[in-house]
């Protein structure tokens, strides 16, 4: 396989941007370095597997394949009425991701990335806030208001019954 000068420069530029210098004395050294590097990143799972289609006569041992996951995407939610997606639709997409087999940190990252102005609300929860905390906070601000109005109406219309004492009624 041959690389163009532009491809080589792009690879070197990527290593410089990541501030890493790979060990590449041999193909096996580079493969091991790449596996160790991606494992240390925690965002890129490393999967080792023996594939006969990639095995060569000079190297019959297994090759290390690095699987880079795609970033999860959720519709953008800004919190205003002109938002790209309504809160109910956005919340449904989040629920679908939670039902999937995606890692917690990827779902959390996708949620944070999908929020625009609504992100200011969750920002106050801090960077370590759980998905449940984030959704609870957003639900309190953007969820269906009918339930809250009904609850408030019930509160204002509550009356003590004739046979109830004050401790039981409160």
| pLDDT tens by residue, 11-24 | 888 888 878 888 88
Residue 42 has pLDDT above 60, yes or no: no
Whether the Cβ atoms of residue 82 and residue 47 lie closer than 8 Å to each other: no
Task: Label residue 144 by pLDDT band (50, 70, 90).
Answer: confident
Helix (H) or strand (E) holding 65: strand 63-66
Indicate the domain borders of the chain: 5-66, 70-144
Residue 59 has pLDDT above 80, yes or no: no
pLDDT score of 83: 60
Nearest residue to 120 via CA among 106, 100, 134: 134
**pTM attached to this predicted model:** 0.47
DSSP 8-state assignment for residue 71: P
The phi and psi torsions of 46 (rounded to 5 degrees) equal -110, 130
Give the Cα-Cα-Cα angle 162, 166, 170 (nearest 5 degrees).
110
Task: Label residue 132 by pLDDT band (50, 70, 90).
Answer: very high
Residue 120 has pLDDT above 70, yes or no: yes
Average pLDDT (73-77) is 88
Could you tell me which residue, 67 or 6, shows the higher pLDDT? Answer: 6
pLDDT score of 134: 92
Average pLDDT (83-104) is 86
What is the three-class DSSP state of 46? strand
DSSP 8-state assignment for residue 66: E
Residue 58 has pLDDT above 50, yes or no: no
pLDDT score of 133: 93
């Amino acid at each position: 396989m041959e690389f163009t000068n532009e491809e080589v420069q792009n690879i070197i530029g990527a290593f410089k941007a990541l501030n890493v210098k790979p060990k590449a004395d041999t193909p096996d050294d580079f493969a091991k370095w790449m596996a160790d590097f991606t494992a240390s990143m925690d965002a890129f799972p490393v999967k080792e597997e023996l594939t006969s289609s990639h095995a060569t006569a000079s190297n019959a041992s297994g090759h290390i394949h690095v699987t880079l996951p795609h970033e999860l995407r959720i519709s953008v939610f800004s919190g205003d009425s002109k938002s790209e997606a309504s809160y109910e639709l956005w919340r449904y997409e989040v629920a679908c991701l939670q039902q999937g087999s995606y890692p917690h940190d990827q779902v959390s990252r996708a949620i944070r990335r999908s929020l625009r102005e609504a992100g200011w609300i969750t920002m106050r929860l801090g960077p370590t806030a759980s998905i449940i905390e984030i959704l609870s906070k957003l639900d309190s601000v953007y969820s269906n208001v009918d339930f809250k109005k009904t609850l408030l109406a019930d509160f204002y219309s509550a009356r003590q019954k004739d046979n109830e004492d004050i401790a039981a009624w409160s």
